[in-house]
Structures are given as structure tokens and as C-alpha cells.
Amino acid sequence: MSQPIDEFNDLKQLPRQAQLKAWLAMHGIKHRELAIKLGVHPSMVSRIICGERAPGKRIRELMALGIPESLLPSPNRRSPGRPRAVPEGTVERDQMES
């Protein structure tokens, strides 16, 4: 039989997403509250927490609210939205750096 996880000492054994959820619960912070503070829909907060989305601006705002950086997903470097079509014969910026 597995031992119950000690809220404070065993959090590091959990995946990042579970650590973040536990940290928010221990601090009484709800997704809806974060959404209001960030000016986004609660589903966006859920997508950030699970790592599906990680816009740099929102990650910085969450850190400014006191959430530890180690619990947040790494910010995306790409712009949101669809990737732009690259005309034939042109070289993308990423290819130039390689």
C-alpha cells in the first residue's frame, strides 16, 4: 500500500503540473481568480497549468503574482496563432541561424 504524500515535503516527487496544482490549492488560489487577474478565460489558465499553452507574457504575470517559476511551464518562443506560410525560395530565420 502506498504512503500518503506529505503536502510539504513530498511535492517535488510529483510532476510539475501536479506540484503547481497542489501549490495553488495550498494557497487557496482558484483558476477563476487567476483568470480575472490575468484578464483571460479560466480555460486559458487551465491550459497554461497543464502546459498546453505557455505565452511568455502570461508566465511573467503569474510569476509577478508570486507563483514560483519552477512550477510554471517554460514560456513559448513562438507567437500565438497559425504559423505563417513562407514563400518558396525564401529562407526562414531559424534556418539562417543553423
CA–CA–CA angle 56, 52, 67 (5° rounding): 50
Task: Give dist(CA 98, CA 73) in Å, integer.
Answer: 26
pLDDT (tens digit, 0 to 9) for every residue of the chain, 98 residues total? 455 545 555 667 889 999 999 999 999 999 999 999 999 999 999 999 998 989 999 999 999 999 999 999 998 766 656 666 766 766 655 555 54
- Check if the beta carbon of residue 52 is closer than 8 Å to that of residue 58: no
pLDDT of amino acid 1? 44
pLDDT of amino acid 76? 77
> Dihedral sign, CA of 58, 61, 67, 70?
positive
How many CB atoms within 10 Å of residue 46? 14
DSSP letter assigned to residue 17:
H
pLDDT of amino acid 88? 72
- Check if the beta carbon of residue 71 is closer than 8 Å to that of residue 19: yes
Rg of the chain over all Cα atoms, to the nearest angstrom: 18
Q: Tell me yes or no: is domain 12-76 CATH 1.10.260.40.
A: yes
